[in-house]
């Protein structure tokens, strides 16, 4: 049980921002929120993670709701290379990471 | 660092044969994960080791599957006997420690086809 809910698919235009939502309403106080993405024919790769505060790195930004029941991955300027399946995952106290179905992002030129 | 190394990249075998998949985690990483990916079921966690000890093997499908981590630099996933429904991409991933605030590094996967 992934315990996160994401839309099955989303579309974006190249060079526009993309906001990928994730619901994790049963998250516990010590669970981190992780995002990974999987490009076609490749293994998943890390994007970003956080606990309570918003996080930024060179790939993306992670906005976490104040009640932590939802989060949004923000790609500031989508490129064709960002077309992938994006997974939102709860990092539980046991340390395992359970992947759900993810959101398939398509980027149109 | 070479990253997580999996072998073989592709494996084609016949039903009933034994299959062994191998993984070398990143040096210094203490946690190792085996995942299986199919179109129908997505990315499933099979087993998770921390310091060479299996912590969660609830995802291992059945007794035909077994995983070992004899030392910190090597793990195997064995299927005996293999069945066509085992056809999938098997990923290995490693992480520095068992903490849930660290990122996973994935290998390139082994594409298994059981005929």
Query: What is the C-alpha separation between B47 and B66, in angstroms, rounded?
Result: 9
CA A78 to chain centre: 14
Best of A33, A43, A44, A104 to mutate (most B CBs within 10 Å, chain B): A43
Closest CB to A44 among B31, B100, B106: B106
Question: What pLDDT band is residue B102 in, cutting at 50, 70 and 90?
Answer: confident
Cβ contacts of residue B24 below 8 Å, gap of 6+? Answer: B4, B5, B6, B73, B74
pLDDT for the residue numbered A95: 77
pLDDT for the residue numbered A51: 92
Question: What pLDDT band is residue A2 in, cutting at 50, 70 and 90?
Answer: low
Locate tokens 């390139």: which residue?
Answer: B108
Query: Which of A40, A38, A35 lies closest to A20, judged by CA?
Result: A35
Query: Which of A95, A34, A100, A92 lies closest to B49, judged by CA?
Result: A95
Closest CB to B100 among A44, A45, A92: A92
Interface of A with B (CB under 8 A): 30-32, 34, 36, 38, 42-46, 49, 51, 87, 91-102
Phi, psi of B85 (to 5 degrees): -70, -5
pLDDT for the residue numbered A85: 97
Pairing of strands A9-13, A103-108: parallel
pLDDT in tens, A4-39: 999 999 999 999 999 999 999 888 888 899 999 999
The token pair that represents A33 in the structure block: 């929120």
Beta carbons within 10 angstroms of residue A29's beta carbon: 8
Has residue A48 got a pLDDT over 90? yes
User: Higher model confidence: residue B89 or residue B98?
Assistant: B89
Locate tokens 């976490």: which residue?
Answer: A64
pLDDT for the residue numbered B1: 66
Has residue A101 got a pLDDT over 70? yes
Instruction: Indicate the range of A19-28, A71-80, B4-13 predicted with least confidence.
Output: A19-28
pLDDT over 70 percentage in chain B? 99
Has residue A94 got a pLDDT over 80? no
Angle at A69 between CA B42 and CA A73, to 5 degrees: 60
pLDDT in tens, A52-72: 989 999 999 999 999 999 999
End-to-end, the C-alpha distance of chain B in Å comes to: 36
Enclosing H/E stretch for B115 = none
Query: Which of B35, B76, B36 lies closest to B52, judged by CA?
Result: B76
CA A26 to chain centre: 17
Locate tokens 């190249």: which residue?
Answer: A14
């Amino acid at each position: 049980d992934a315990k996160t809910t994401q839309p099955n698919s989303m579309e974006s235009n190249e060079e526009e921002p993309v906001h990928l939502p994730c619901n994790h309403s049963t998250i516990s106080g010590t669970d981190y929120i992780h995002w990974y993405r999987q490009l076609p024919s490749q293994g998943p790769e890390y994007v970003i993670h956080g606990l309570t505060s918003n996080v930024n790195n060179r790939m993306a930004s992670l906005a976490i709701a104040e009640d932590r029941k939802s989060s949004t991955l923000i790609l500031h300027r989508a490129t064709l290379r960002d077309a992938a399946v994006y997974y939102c995952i709860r990092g539980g106290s046991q340390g395992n990471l359970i992947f759900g179905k993810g959101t398939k992002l398509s980027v149109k030129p | 660092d070479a990253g997580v190394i999996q072998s073989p990249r592709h494996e084609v075998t016949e039903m009933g044969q034994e299959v062994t998949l191998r993984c070398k985690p990143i040096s210094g990483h203490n946690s190792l994960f085996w995942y299986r990916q199919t179109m129908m079921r997505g990315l499933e966690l099979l087993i998770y080791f921390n310091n060479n000890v299996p912590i969660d093997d609830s995802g291992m499908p059945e007794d035909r599957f077994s995983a070992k981590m004899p030392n910190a630099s090597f793990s195997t996933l064995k299927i005996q006997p293999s069945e066509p429904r085992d056809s999938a991409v098997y990923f290995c991933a490693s992480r520095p420690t068992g903490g849930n605030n660290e990122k996973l590094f994935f290998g390139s996967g082994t594409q298994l086809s059981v005929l």
